[in-house]
Amino acid sequence: MYPAPLDPAGPRPPALLLVAHGSRDPRHAATIGALTTRVRRRLPGVRVAASYLDFDAPSVHGALGRLYAAGTREVVAVPLLLTRAFHAKTDIPGVLAEVTSALPDLTVQQADVLGPHPLLTAALERRLRAAGLPPGDAHSTGVVLASAGSSDPEASAVIAEIAREWRRTTGWCAVRPAFASAARPRTADAVRDLRAAGARRVAVAPYVLAPGRLPDRIAAGAHEAGADVLAPALGAAPEVARVVIERYTAVAGRRRTAQAAAA
């Protein structure tokens, strides 16, 4: 079930602005567009728009300007990020502050990043099954949880914790974190380590939202080390859309409660 943040008889809810990283790879924007469409269909009555920190258009400034010109005065910005690192802690708050300082009657609240979340882990597992990982025999299957990577130790620690929890709840013989940049081990090294530890089958689950340079690096490492299964990026999976809506609803609901209390 999707959350139902709207009261049809109430005031218009805040707009939802999805904030993606952006990429020179056109597959990235295409994926974000598909996710935006899926979310919009699930939130009738909410203005839903996508924006990008870099490379793609519209920028966060541009998207908020369009929403403002259309009459929007309240926005919830949901970062399309899977861990809380520099972009979520610094870049996004900074650009949102720039816009609201120029448009003082515009209120923008930043929601939590998407991960970690059990629905994302469920999507990873579903992607692996669709990519050819057979059911059963989990005790002889090792999984590489491959993320883009970050120099922020908090983000790396989150990936390691997701790997531990996934291993605990599914019964894989092991789940190893790996990183395409900034941190170690790399995907190929993690695949080889699992083989050396006795995993009969090794699957790579990219913990990335959309295709691009770093996801391609994950795929190259999986192929180089001979992984048996490589899942695609999470993309516009229904589970991802549900998490986006949950993050939006948490902020929009708090604001509506505060407004009701002040009335």
Looking at residue 236, what is its pLDDT?
98
pLDDT at 103: 95
* Residue 157 confidence (pLDDT): 94
Q: Which among 155, 115, 136, 88 has a CA at the least distance from the CA of 240?
A: 115
Nearest to 17 by CA among 99, 120, 111: 111
Asked if residues 82 and 120 have their Cβ atoms less than 8 Å apart, the reply is: yes
CB 218, CB 206: distance < 8 Å: yes
pLDDT at 8: 45
Q: How far apart are CA 64 and CA 16, in angstroms?
A: 10
pLDDT digits (tens, 9 = 90+) for 182-213: 899 999 999 999 999 999 999 999 999 999 99
CB-based contact 160:195 (threshold 8 Å): no
Q: How far is CA 22 from CA 26, 54, 93, 150, 186, in A?
A: 9, 5, 17, 16, 23
Domains delineated in the chain: 15-114+237-262 (3.40.50.1400), 132-230 (3.40.50.1400)
Position 2 scores a pLDDT of 35
Give the predicted TM-score (pTM) of the model.
0.92
HSE of 192, CA atoms in CB hemisphere, 13 A: 9
3-state secondary structure of 152: coil
Could you tell me if 17 and 46 are in contact, meaning their C-beta atoms sit under 8 angstroms apart? no
pLDDT number for residue 258: 58
Note the pLDDT of residue 12: 85
pLDDT of residue 56: 96
- DSSP lists the bridge partners of residue 204 as 144, 230
d(CA 12, CA 74) in angstroms, rounded, equals 9
Q: Which residues of the chain have pLDDT under 70?
A: 1-10, 255-263
